[in-house]
Amino acid sequence: DDGELHAVVRLTADPDRQQAEFAIIVGHWIAGMGLGMLLMKRLIRYARQQGIGQLYGSVLADNKDMLGLCQHLGFVQEHSADDPGVRVVRLDLQSSAPA
């Protein structure tokens, strides 16, 4: 344990738990080592256990690694109505296979 913070995960659910916004930040010095995938799978599993219907998050359009990871996990992408440099990714937890 080096005491450094390598990643941050956040999940903010609506009171009715129909949807929740997620955010994941992984330090650039450990990117590509599988930590993002591990955290996303755990986040999806946790959200399902909490009865959340859909996950969504904002991803910079040039963050190809995160967009690819989300696509691999079954998220659909759409352009942000507010910012052309952002993609919104969504995963329906009721109909998708467990991660």
Mean pLDDT of 72-94: 94
CATH number of the domain to which 53 belongs: 3.40.630.30
Domain annotation covers residue 97: no
Please check the confidence at residue 77 and state whether its pLDDT lies above 80: yes
Please indicate, yes or no, if residue 72 is contained in any of the structural domains.
yes
CB 55 within 8 A of CB 93: yes
Tens digits of residue pLDDT in 1-28: 567 778 889 999 999 999 999 999 887 7
* 28, part of any domain: yes
pLDDT band at residue 55 using 50, 70 and 90 as cut-offs: very high
Least confident of 21-25, 31-35, 39-43, 77-81: 31-35
pLDDT-based confidence at residue 96 (cuts at 50, 70, 90): low
Least confident of 13-22, 73-82, 88-97: 88-97
89: buried, middle or exposed (CB in 10 Å: 19+, 13-18, 0-12)? buried
State the burial class of residue 62 (Cβ atoms within 10 Å of its Cβ: 0-12, 13-18, 19+): exposed
Say how many domains are in the chain.
1
